Amino acid sequence: MLTTFLTTDKGYRKILENKLYDSYIYKHIRYPVIDEEKWKLLLFLVEQHSSLTPVQREKYIISTMLVQIALDTHDFVPIKQKADTESEMVKKQLQVLSGDYYSGLYYLLLAEAGEIQFIQILANAIREINELKVTLYYEEQLPLETWLNIKMKLNASLLVHVANHLYNPELESIIQNWLMYRRIDTEEANYGQSLLLTEWEARNNKATSMPLIDGKLIRNYEKAVYSAISDLSGSNLFMEQFIHSQETNEMRTSRL
């Protein structure tokens, strides 16, 4: 099972990298980073669906990840209107254009395969994500809990829409809480604190006790994941397998 997953991961990753590569663009901006947590979950959700053909699986995985990378790329574009130097201006323009390019690739990939319905699924996710971003941009001084809830939906929206299309809305809570749990836990491990909390502090001009809040949030999101697992119907119990496999891998890694 593990060997099969690793082989599948490597194959899809190579296809994705070939779609992404452009020698001119990456002279000026960094190569896009693949969100590994979303990548692993996406592969699992699509590969688990036995009625999909191999061609459909490839198209769904690659197109969804192209959209995710397009969204992430646009998020890296500086907010300030004017660039200080010509080099900065070129970099900013390429950042925007590369995000648009990835979005165009997903549409082309699915249109050529006749997957019109899946184009609409991803388009709906993009619309929801943009609406959530607008809410965060214009709503200042949001309470931490409200702000984190919007961030959680924003973080998981793309995969939630894919999962709802392939399965049913029962998986929504698990996906949202799992990705948020993994994000905060990873940020805390890599940077000593959650970047989400740092962002909220900067927006609200407030200081928090980072380690205490980070630890509490991690525990709360993890509890929410297992609470949602306990409520799963029989047809969706495969998600429990995914969560446990990821937790087991995490424990193995921590012992190395």
Angstrom distance (rounded) from CA 156 to CA 172: 9
Q: Which helix (H) or strand (E) holds 232?
A: none
Domain positions in the chain are 1-153, 167-255
Q: Which of 12, 28, 24, 175 is nearest to 95 (CA)?
A: 28
Given a contact cutoff of 8 angstroms between Cβ atoms, the answer to whether 213 and 197 are in contact is yes
Angstrom distance (rounded) from CA 152 to CA 179: 8
What does the pLDDT read at residue 252? 46
CATH 1.20.120 for domain 1-153: yes
What does the pLDDT read at residue 61? 97
What does the pLDDT read at residue 139? 82
Q: 97 vs 77, 92, 94, 164, 174, CA distance in Å?
A: 10, 9, 5, 30, 34
pLDDT in tens, the chain (256 residues): 444 555 688 899 999 988 887 655 666 666 778 999 999 999 999 999 999 999 999 999 999 999 999 888 766 555 555 556 766 666 666 666 666 777 888 899 999 999 999 999 999 999 999 999 989 888 877 888 999 999 999 999 999 999 999 998 999 999 999 999 999 999 888 888 888 888 888 887 766 656 667 788 899 999 999 999 999 998 889 999 999 999 877 654 553 4
- How much is the pTM? 0.86
CB neighbours of 33 closer than 8 A, spacing ≥ 6? 72
Tokens of 52: 């999909």
Q: Where are the alpha helices (DSSP H) in 36-115?
A: 36-48, 54-75, 86-112
Angstrom distance (rounded) from CA 182 to CA 209: 20
